[in-house]
Amino acid sequence: MLDYHLHLWPHGVRDRAPTLEQVASYCRRAQEAGVTEIALTEHLFRFRQADGLLRGFWDDEPDAALRASMVRYWDDHAHADLDAYVECVIAAREAGLPVVLGLEVDYYRDRMDDVAALLAGYPFDVLLGSVHWIGVWRFDDLADPVSMDQWPVRGVERAWADYTTAMEELAASRTCDVLAHPDLVKVAGHRPHAPQEWWDRLAEAARSSGMAAELSSAGWRKPAAEQYPAAPLLERFVRAGVPLTTASDAHRLEEVADRAGELGALLDALEVDTLCGFRARRPRPVSRRSGARLP
Ligand SMILES: [Zn+2]
Ligand SMILES: [Zn+2]
């Protein structure tokens, strides 16, 4: 198994500089759970370099409360130094730890060329592409009343439609390698009457872009109360030949490799024995059980 989605800092905690010891402890915990390789994938928006590039992307939002909420969230997060993060993870990799250098990248409409240009200056192994926000609406920020108040205003059907469109645009931008938590829009537990169209479109977005998709245990820790993606969407990915990673989306050490065994059981049921690792943004098939590189 892999754990290809890991954060060093919980939300709300001001970023410390990452240390080799912290990365080593993540690797130890992962290996104890049968995970052969991890990717550190901190949010791009936690870094000052993203602030310089993207600050003000919320300016076109007409809703003043949503805009103010995003400014607060952004100012709370954009403090760490991307260079120090990259250097630390590379030092860990070079010390022989089973870790690769990644980042979790949000979708910023009309700004993905700028994002790609910034990231091209760093030696990333893997980039996760995520939609946590529809425009500036943080539909997954369960702790933010302004964001949660939007659910009844917009409605579940429109939220799923807008989310799916954003994921399609993110995939088509070819900025990233893996679609993270592919049906995150269910995070708060709201599901549409007929999700089949959205599942079909999400699977097609991955297939046509050549991206991998992530099987994540994080949904079990949320009101959604199941893995991302739902079983019918996971089946669609497998049928379409979309490569898969596995992930916990841990934001602290105790969550590293969370429920890796349960993710493995889902893959057993679909006879998936191969996962997709990455080096230098190139996919690399690996055995799910041994972690050995496959031809
Ligand atoms: Zn995420
Ligand atoms: Zn994440």
The pLDDT of residue 9: 87
Half-sphere exposure of 280 (CA within 13 A, CB side): 0
Q: Among candidates 126, 124, 119, which has minimal Cα distance to 90? A: 124
- The whole-angstrom separation of Cα 6 and Cα 17 is 16
User: Residue 295 Cα, ligand 1 centroid: separation in angstroms?
Assistant: 30
Closest ligand to the CA of 247 = 2
Name the stretches of the chain with pLDDT < 70: 15
The pLDDT of residue 294: 94
The pLDDT of residue 29: 98
What residue type is assigned to position 183 of the chain?
D
User: Residue 54 Cα, ligand 2 centroid: separation in angstroms?
Assistant: 19
User: Residue 31 Cα, ligand 1 centroid: separation in angstroms?
Assistant: 23
User: Residue 130 Cα, ligand 1 centroid: separation in angstroms?
Assistant: 6
Q: Yes or no: say if 208 and 222 are a contact pair by the CB < 8 Å rule.
A: no
User: Residue 129 Cα, ligand 1 centroid: separation in angstroms?
Assistant: 8
The pLDDT of residue 15: 65
User: Residue 94 Cα, ligand 2 centroid: separation in angstroms?
Assistant: 24
The pLDDT of residue 236: 98
State the angle between helix axes of 20-32 and 82-94 in degrees (0 to 180), rounded to the nearest 10: 50
- The whole-angstrom separation of Cα 33 and Cα 77 is 30
User: Residue 293 Cα, ligand 2 centroid: separation in angstroms?
Assistant: 25
Helices (H), the chain: 20-32, 48-54, 64-77, 82-94, 112-119, 145-148, 150-154, 156-173, 196-209, 231-239, 260-269
